[in-house]
């Protein structure tokens, strides 16, 4: 199994972690040589030195140094600080440098350079556009950015593998997500980080801000609150509401599963799936697989197999889940649940299963171990035991990544001004992603396309739009009526 | 008094109103000539004809036609529709064309083209940035866009001269405002149009969304709700909250007044001001002028002079206003209030006063007639009667326009990460705007700089930042501590 290079925790294999140190030191002959030799002795590798400013007494330089990792870089900096008169103004690595000042900005789509521009885009011209929308609210889809704009809404309670870090610390993730929306699908997505954990309040806020948006992407909101919030917003808003951690994951998992089943030659109706982790993602993956034909699912969480009336760790969402899964009932651990399964789907935590567990699965076992950043079982551990392995990571084959879904899905939704995202549209997205991998290309190590495969967005957008039309939730007619704006 | 060209209601003097008609008609010899001569007979002037698509049976062309105004253009289109087989697919003028698809977009500040980019700006790299913010929330100002981002919040209850047109119809105005923030001050401002009129709800929503923003610009929210909303948000948030209709207007009015007083040679302490219109703008202008030294203000609204205990049309905000103004008390009309005033400040409605009223003002009368789009009195009517006249319009000299304030003000505020916008900062902004007009340039027809004068933003930002430091509300130290992000 080939493991590719990747920056995990800022460490790049092959020593390509670099830190840029802004150094302010006395302007004396020999100083730079002294600095350079101290860096060398500390095991650092200077890759560039740039002058920032200088006068007779001081020099300010940016020194870029290769190190093993961030701890090593910190040690190099501490050593440098011992040089008399040497000050570190700032030090950042590549990841932090790329975050300075944020990752997204507003861009004007037309110029405002002249008086005439100003009277076009602002007063007095804009008054006519506002009047047109007041008379017919539907034209807001044409005459404003609403039709291309999505709110990325989070309260920061379930961010990546970090958990409840709050709305402000979640902002870099939402900015990153906004970048992906823009880069892959030309969707304008703005982060809205909410300082509240109250589901009622979140529903109220999202409903209040909805007029300016064509869709709502809920993100990194913890279960079970996320279920109620999404359900209520879907019912009360006339624009699509999509909790990506649930449904984005479910769509991509199903895409990978459809292709994996082609390889092992099993019918989806016949398989047994063990779902490990029954939070936002696990619940949605279960529903999605069931919608696609899976009959037998056993869910497991930290209290073991989920079954109706379990004495520990239940809530209304889990009771509902228990009723819909696990036809054989009864308690047990993940090790019991995985025995005899055709598919293990992990959306839980690191190292929960091992090779022995996978050995007890059915022939041609399919293991999707998607815990972040460390999977439920490392792919190398089950090489030759499982037939097909996928993870959420980019350093193993078969990366199951939401980026394969949400850009194309929202592109399709906005293109037809859909009122909602229904199951038919999600199934269409999953089939579109799966179909990007051709029969000829399909193999145990290639069941899901790369996130950089540009065909994915186009295919997903097209199929989602078609499904929206077919299910009657597209607001835009295929043939648009004449638009006269005067 | 020179009146300059301007597009009001889409009409440009000199016949430069143009409409672009997308025409779909049978592909037959002589059709285009027929269309052209019908347009000519209807008084239209074809300026260009572009081919969009064609096949053997149909032609689709964009025909751009000069007309007198939108009504004339509509008549031309109606005439064209009578040609057998001729269809109008769409027709828009310049203003509407510039609004298609909205006026703003999201822009990525760094590329996401490669796997390495992706791991920098999204997972796994972003997790380190989020962790750094979770450990020290203040670094969100450095590592996200928060420090350059403003929410433009409206509920669409008092939009331009249009009144309560709702949040969606307000969106084009907010997009226009966002463009001006970007163009003039490189501030990233995103429109948030709220579907609620409840002040409690608005306060809750703005507090909830605040973590991602460095400042809040309240816009076009009707009085008296705007007073309570702003006051509560100012008290409860640690970022600046600024209702532009109130304070932006007040800052620019004060700037114009300071320069006007230089010309007439009166001291600000000695003047008597009649304020006509005591809504958001009138109240804030009064407070601002009083902060700058004005002692005698008489406020007038639709019920006449505002005085304590007036039987009609009072509310708590007006009672407070009455206590702080009008030292002589007593009822009366705007015609009574203007008599003996040195300054008339109109922020009300069209044609409320006339030349006779202005004749009863003190010598060297200053008239700021700012009702939108038609002023309280047209400048031509009082030429030679008032010494100095200003309006909100760009087709007369002395345009009092909020664009002179808000971009530079927020630039300064964000530059120092101010916690609030206080009176000292607003006074600094007014003085900075006034000072852009030099003593040598100052004249009756040039008391306020052009909105396109780039010196304004720089001067306002600098002085506002200095005032924030001086009053202890700047979060950023003048000399920043070393930032080590690894």
Return the closest-CA partner of residue B219 out of B250, B204, B199, B241. Answer: B241
The burial of A266, by beta-carbon neighbours within 10 Å (0-12 exposed, 13-18 middle, 19 or more buried), is given as middle
Flag whether the pTM goes above 0.90.
Answer: yes
* Placement of tokens 């040679």 in the chain: B265
What three-state secondary structure class fits A472?
coil
Cα dihedral A371, A373, A377, A383, rounded to 10, equals 120
Task: Report the percentage of chain B scoring pLDDT > 90.
Answer: 90
- At B440 the pLDDT is 96
Mean pLDDT over B352-362 rounds to 98
Of A9, A100, A124, the CB nearest to B143: A100
What three-state secondary structure class fits B377?
coil
Which one-letter DSSP state was computed for residue A382? G
To test the contact with chain A by mutation, choose from B24, B96, B162 the residue with the greatest count of A C-beta atoms within 10 A, namely: B96
Residues of B catalogued as catalytic: 122, 177
The C-alpha atoms of residue A22 and residue B426 are separated, in whole angstroms, by: 37
At residue B216, does pLDDT exceed 60?
Answer: yes
Cβ of A171 and B146 within 8 Å? yes
Q: How far is A180 from chain B (nearest CA, A)?
A: 7
Contact list, B100 vs chain A (CB under 8 Å) = 142-143
The burial of B424, by beta-carbon neighbours within 10 Å (0-12 exposed, 13-18 middle, 19 or more buried), is given as middle
Residues 6+ apart with CB under 8 A from B6: A115, A119, A124, B12, B393, B394, B395
Band of the pLDDT at B481, cuts 50, 70, 90?
low
Strands (DSSP E) contained in B292-441 are 296-301, 304-305, 343-346, 366-369, 388-391
The C-alpha atoms of residue A65 and residue B204 are separated, in whole angstroms, by: 47
Query: Could you give the residue ranges of the DSSP H alpha helices within B265-301?
Result: 280-291
- At B482 the pLDDT is 65
Of B9, B123, B149, the CB nearest to A160: B123
| Nearest-5° Cα angle at A99, A93 to A103 | 150
The C-alpha atoms of residue A291 and residue B51 are separated, in whole angstroms, by: 48
Higher pLDDT, A116 or B285: B285
At residue A5, does pLDDT exceed 80?
Answer: no
- The secondary structure element, H or E, covering residue B107 is strand B104-108
Query: Which token pair is B55?
Result: 């096949």
- At B1 the pLDDT is 47
At residue B6, does pLDDT exceed 90?
Answer: no
Residues 6+ apart with CB under 8 A from B396: B1, B3, B4, B379, B389
Mean pLDDT value across chain A: 93
Of B193, B482, B485, the CB nearest to A89: B482
Tens-place pLDDT, residues A345-354: 999 999 999 9
Mean pLDDT over A128-151 rounds to 96
- At A15 the pLDDT is 46
- At A1 the pLDDT is 46
Mean pLDDT over B197-201 rounds to 98
Residues 6+ apart with CB under 8 A from A414: A147, A148, A150, A187, A214, A215
- At A485 the pLDDT is 83
- At B158 the pLDDT is 95
- The neighbour count for residue B323, using CB atoms within 10 Å, is 11
Tens-place pLDDT, residues A259-274: 999 999 999 999 999 9
Return the closest-CA partner of residue B484 out of A121, A401, A307, A91. Answer: A91
> Where is average pLDDT lowest: A276-285, A311-320, B5-14, B346-355?
B5-14
Tens-place pLDDT, residues B34-63: 999 999 999 999 999 999 999 999 999 999
- At B11 the pLDDT is 42
C-alpha dihedral sign at A209, A213, A216, A217: negative
- At A327 the pLDDT is 79
Q: How far is A238 from chain B (nearest CA, A)?
A: 13
Could you tell me if residue A339 is left (phi over 0), alpha (psi between -120 and 50 degrees) or otherwise beta?
beta
Cβ of A130 and B103 within 8 Å? no
- At B486 the pLDDT is 79
The C-alpha atoms of residue B431 and residue A124 are separated, in whole angstroms, by: 27
Cβ of A176 and B122 within 8 Å? yes
- At B479 the pLDDT is 54
Q: How many contacts does A have with B, using Cβ atoms within 8 A?
A: 411
Tens-place pLDDT, residues A357-402: 999 999 999 999 999 889 999 999 999 999 999 999 888 999 999 9
Query: Which token pair is A214?
Result: 């064509």
Query: Which token pair is A149?
Result: 């704009």
Tens-place pLDDT, residues A57-115: 999 999 999 999 989 999 999 999 999 999 999 999 999 999 999 999 999 999 999 99
> Where is average pLDDT lowest: A210-214, A332-336, A393-397, B403-407?
A393-397
- The neighbour count for residue A395, using CB atoms within 10 Å, is 18
Which one-letter DSSP state was computed for residue B482? P
Mean pLDDT over A250-262 rounds to 98
Contact list, B90 vs chain A (CB under 8 Å) = 482-485
Question: Residue A332, Cα to own-chain centre: how many angstroms?
Answer: 32
Mean pLDDT over B152-159 rounds to 97
Return the closest-CA partner of residue B195 out of A237, A194, A243. Answer: A237
Mean pLDDT over B260-282 rounds to 97
- At A12 the pLDDT is 42
Contact list, A159 vs chain B (CB under 8 Å) = 130
| Phi and psi at residue B309, to the nearest 5° | 80, 15
Which one-letter DSSP state was computed for residue A247? I
- At A4 the pLDDT is 43
Of A103, A146, A208, the CB nearest to B109: A103
Band of the pLDDT at B215, cuts 50, 70, 90?
very high
Query: Which token pair is A89?
Result: 């103004």
Higher pLDDT, A51 or A10: A51
Contact list, A17 vs chain B (CB under 8 Å) = none
What three-state secondary structure class fits A467?
helix
Band of the pLDDT at A481, cuts 50, 70, 90?
low
At residue A35, does pLDDT exceed 70?
Answer: yes
User: B288-314: buried (b, 16+ CB within 10 Å) or exposed (e) per residue?
Assistant: bbeebebebbbbbbeebbbbeebeeeb
Mean pLDDT over B464-474 rounds to 97
Mean pLDDT value across chain B: 93
Cβ of B126 and A176 within 8 Å? yes
Cβ of B212 and A104 within 8 Å? no
- At A7 the pLDDT is 38
The C-alpha atoms of residue B385 and residue B400 are separated, in whole angstroms, by: 20
Q: How far is B415 from chain A (nearest CA, A)?
A: 12
Integer CA distances (angstroms), B357 to B132, B238, B300, B360, in order: 64, 46, 14, 5
Mean pLDDT over A220-242 rounds to 97
At residue A418, does pLDDT exceed 50?
Answer: yes
Could you tell me if A448 and A398 are in contact, meaning their C-beta atoms sit under 8 angstroms apart? yes
Return the closest-CA partner of residue A263 out of A118, A363, A170, A117. Answer: A363
Contact list, A161 vs chain B (CB under 8 Å) = 127
SS3 labels along A137-204: HHHHHHHCHHHHEEEEEECCCCECCCECCHHHHHHHHHHHHHHHHHHHHCCEEEEEECCCCCHHHHHH
Mean pLDDT over B404-420 rounds to 98
- At A223 the pLDDT is 92
Sheet holding A58-67, edge to edge: A45-54, A58-67, A17-26, A87-93, B483-485
Could you tell me if A353 and A334 are in contact, meaning their C-beta atoms sit under 8 angstroms apart? yes
Cβ of A115 and B394 within 8 Å? yes
Contact list, B178 vs chain A (CB under 8 Å) = 106
Of B142, B168, B202, the CB nearest to A211: B168
At residue A478, does pLDDT exceed 60?
Answer: no
Band of the pLDDT at B413, cuts 50, 70, 90?
very high
- At B400 the pLDDT is 96
């Amino acid at each position: 199994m080939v493991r590719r290079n990747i920056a995990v925790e800022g460490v790049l294999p092959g020593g390509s972690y670099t830190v840029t140190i802004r150094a302010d030191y006395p302007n004396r002959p020999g100083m730079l040589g002294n600095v350079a030799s101290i860096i060398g002795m500390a095991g650092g590798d200077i890759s560039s030195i740039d002058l920032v400013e200088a006068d007779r007494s001081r020099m300010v330089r940016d020194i870029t140094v290769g190190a093993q990792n961030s701890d090593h870089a910190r040690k190099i900096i501490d050593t440098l600080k011992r040089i008399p008169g040497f000050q570190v103004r700032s030090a950042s690595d590549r990841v932090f440098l790329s975050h300075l000042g944020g990752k997204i900005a507003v861009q004007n789509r037309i110029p405002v350079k002249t008086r005439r521009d100003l009277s076009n885009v602002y007063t007095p011209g804009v008054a006519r556009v506002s009047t047109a929308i007041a008379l017919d609210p539907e034209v807001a889809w044409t005459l404003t950015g609403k039709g291309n704009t999505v709110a990325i809404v989070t309260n920061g309670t379930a961010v990546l593998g970090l958990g409840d870090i709050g709305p402000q610390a979640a902002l870099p993730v939402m900015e990153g997500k906004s970048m992906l929306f823009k880069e892959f699908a030309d969707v304008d997505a703005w982060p809205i980080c909410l300082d509240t954990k109250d589901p009622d309040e979140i529903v109220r806020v999202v409903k209040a801000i909805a007029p300016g948006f064509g869709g709502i992407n809920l993100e990194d909101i913890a279960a079970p609150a996320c279920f109620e919030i999404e359900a209520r917003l879907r019912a009360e808003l006339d624009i699509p509401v999509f909790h990506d951690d649930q449904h984005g994951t479910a769509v991509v998992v199903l895409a990978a599963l459809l292709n994996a089943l082609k390889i092992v030659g099993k019918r989806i109706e016949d398989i047994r799936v063990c779902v490990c982790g029954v939070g936002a993602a696990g619940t949605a993956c279960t529903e999605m697989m069931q919608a696609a034909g899976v009959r037998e699912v056993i869910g497991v969480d930290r209290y073991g197999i989920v079954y109706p009336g379990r004495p520990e760790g239940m809530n209304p969402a889990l009771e509902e889940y228990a009723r819909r899964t696990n036809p054989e009932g009864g308690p047990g651990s993940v090790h019991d649940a995985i025995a005899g399964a055709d598919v293990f789907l992990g959306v839980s935590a690191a190292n929960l299963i091992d090779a022995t567990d996978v050995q007890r699965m059915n022939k041609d076992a399919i293991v999707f171990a998607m815990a972040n950043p460390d999977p439920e079982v490392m792919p190398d551990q089950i090489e030759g035991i499982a037939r097909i392995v996928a993870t959420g990571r980019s350093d193993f084959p078969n990366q199951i990544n939401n980026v394969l879904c949400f850009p194309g899905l929202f592109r399709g939704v906005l293109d037809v001004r859909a009122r909602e995202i229904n199951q038919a549209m999600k199934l269409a997205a999953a089939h579109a992603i799966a179909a990007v991998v051709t029969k000829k290309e399909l193999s145990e190590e290639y069941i899901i396309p790369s996130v950089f495969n540009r065909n994915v967005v186009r295919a997903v957008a097209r199929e989602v739009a078609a499904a929206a039309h077919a299910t009657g939730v597209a607001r835009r007619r295929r043939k648009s009526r004449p638009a006269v704006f005067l």
